[in-house]
Amino acid sequence: MPSHILPVTNPNLHSSKQHSYLRIDPTTMPLKQDDPITSTRLVSSPFEDETIISVRPLLSRTPSFAGTTTTSSSASYQQRRRRVASENSLSSLSDESIGQRQSLAREVDRAAPETFLLTRLGLKLLRYMGVGYRWIMRFLALGCYSLMLFPGFIQVGYYYFFSGRVLRSIVYGDQPRNRLDLYLPKNTDGPKPVVAFVTGGAWIIGYKAWGSLLGQQLSERDIMVACIDYRNYPQGTMSNMVEDASGGISFVCNKIAEYGGDPNRVYLMGQSAGAHIAACALVEQAIKEAGEGGSTTWSVLQIKTYFGLSGGYNLFNLVDYFHSRGLYRSIFLSIMEGEESLRRFSPEVIVQDPNLKKAVSLLPPIVLFHGTADYSIPADSSKSFAETLQSVGVRAESILYEGKTHTDLFLQDPMRGGNDRMFEDLVSIIHSDDREAQAKDEVAPPRRRLVPEFMLQLAHRVSPF
């Protein structure tokens, strides 16, 4: 018997004028003699797995559809239901798989430009350093050094790109590279202390991702970390770097509460060239607040402590040293905007100016970390700066670590896992006024080892830094 097409109003559609058409096969819809005029039937619909509708039979009632026909049609109907359910399940699994692939693709798309940028920064550094014998040997040493630490780099990179507790590239200004990464603690049981961190990179290859290892490990101790990016040379010169760093610090001081940070517990930290940039930003801000400069968007009084890691603070003492190490005088002076600007960007020299006593008095406590075997920037740089600060009334100290190189404190020791002195010294100062946090630190599990010891020892020996 031919099938009949019935218009069925779909309640899910917005307009009552829109219909879906339901095919009713009388051979599969047996009607009993005592059925009422309108029968309720369970039928298959393209909009739902099962749809209940009311159907007015078009045929006269007759028992001719009973018997074996009813049995076979019921079995056929059940097979159709199972087939529809199977197709829906496969479709659901397919959609989930597609969603996972799309999510992974988005992460790869985000990682690709970052990887390209890092490669470009490395090539830029080589271009400025030249290709003489000294730099060829140093480049080979760098390759070997990177290979030894590669297992650690892979793990840190995976955390950086795929952890849900890393908020990457938050915009803090309108200039190129005005971005920062935010590392969030796992516990969200109250406002957390915050470290505004300025990364190093010889003023040429600085990048916010360099702070990912520090950010990860401090966040495990309930400390939030904001890694601030800034323009590098030749995209910008020293004044641009200080301006960018100051903008990032301002964002942290004014906006960090929105992310769960405590604006009353902000710490400023920099490593290598980043330590120098951060120190310049801090001193410049103090001069502005003392009435010697322009308007301000943050205050040095909001900074509880400044931490300098392996930094240089007197450029007059470092020009020749950097030249002997391959950062040639002409390039260095270009970065620093000429020889006449060396004083402006030498915090150790500025704080000795008797006309700036009021500004110097505003500076927060200053703690300088340095390794005695640092050949990139001598440990005397931190020791001399601390002594100068003490002589002008600033609370300052230098903590020296015997036998540690420029990268031991920042890379090898953190990748070694367990407890290392510099990290524990840093955490103990940040948590010095929080007894609950101190109690947690005492029972905190040792940090996980990322690289085997023999590879760390080789990296220490071949390090070009």
Question: Which of 212, 219, 250, 272 is flagged as catalytic?
Answer: 272
For residues 183 and 197, the answer to whether their CB atoms sit within 8 Å is: no
Question: What is the enclosing helix (H) or strand (E) of 399?
Answer: strand 396-401
Of 201, 202, 281, the C-alpha closest to 249 is: 281
Q: Buried b / exposed e across 419-441, counting CB within 10 Å, b at 16+?
A: ebebbeebbebbbeeeeebeeeb
User: What number of CA atoms fall less than 13 Å from residue 344's CA on the CB side?
Assistant: 11
The C-alpha atoms of residue 229 and residue 235 are separated, in whole angstroms, by 13
320 is catalytic: no
The C-alpha atoms of residue 178 and residue 176 are separated, in whole angstroms, by 5
34 is catalytic: no
Question: Which of 212, 244, 398, 406 is flagged as catalytic?
Answer: 406
Question: Which of 229, 244, 374, 420 is flagged as catalytic?
Answer: 374
In degrees and rounded to multiples of 5, residue 16 shows phi and psi of: -75, -10
Q: What is the DSSP letter of 355?
A: G
Burial bucket for residue 453 (CB in 10 Å: 0-12, 13-18, 19+) = exposed
Name the amino acid, one letter, at 397: E
181 is catalytic: no
Which are the catalytic amino acids?
272, 374, 406
